[in-house]
């Protein structure tokens, strides 16, 4: 079964320390069922300077979140929604919002 969250989607976090935050999906790891969401689940990484080009210090970056802890954000419904699929008139499968029944494509 394919994942219902894709890169570029806007999602809302429904569990964990960052519950309620929304952000854009930067990457999806299908094997581990994890997603990296922009500006969500920041971790600090202490790095040592290597050579003259790179500076050492504390870097903050996003860590992966389990895909079960995010829902697709539907702007028409104004909240996180479950996602279903249906076959469009042209024969292609499309993702639809379970709340509104409207197709949800990539959101910018």
- The string of pLDDT tens digits covering residues 51-94 is 888 889 999 999 999 999 999 999 998 999 999 999 988 999 99
pLDDT tens profile 1-14: 578 999 999 999 99
pTM: 0.85
Closest CA relative to residue 35, chosen from 48, 18, 51, 47: 18
Q: How far apart are CA 91 and CA 61, in angstroms?
A: 41
User: Is residue 69 classed as helix, strand or coil in its secondary structure?
Assistant: helix
Q: How far apart are CA 55 and CA 39, in angstroms?
A: 23
Q: How far apart are CA 6 and CA 58, in angstroms?
A: 30
Closest CA relative to residue 11, chosen from 89, 69, 77: 69
Fold classification of 10-80 is: SH3 type barrels. (2.30.30)
The domain limits of the chain are 10-80
């Amino acid at each position: 079964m394919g994942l219902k969250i894709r890169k570029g989607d806007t999602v809302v976090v429904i569990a964990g320390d960052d519950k309620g935050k929304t952000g854009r999906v930067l990457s999806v790891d299908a094997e581990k069922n994890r997603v990296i969401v922009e500006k969500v689940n920041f971790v600090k990484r202490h790095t040592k300077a290597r050579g003259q080009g790179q500076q050492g210090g504390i870097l903050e970056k996003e860590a992966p979140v389990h895909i079960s802890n995010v829902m697709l954000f539907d702007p028409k419904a104004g909240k996180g929604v479950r996602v279903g699929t249906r076959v469009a008139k042209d024969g292609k499968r499309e993702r639809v919002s379970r709340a509104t029944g409207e197709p949800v494509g990539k959101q910018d």
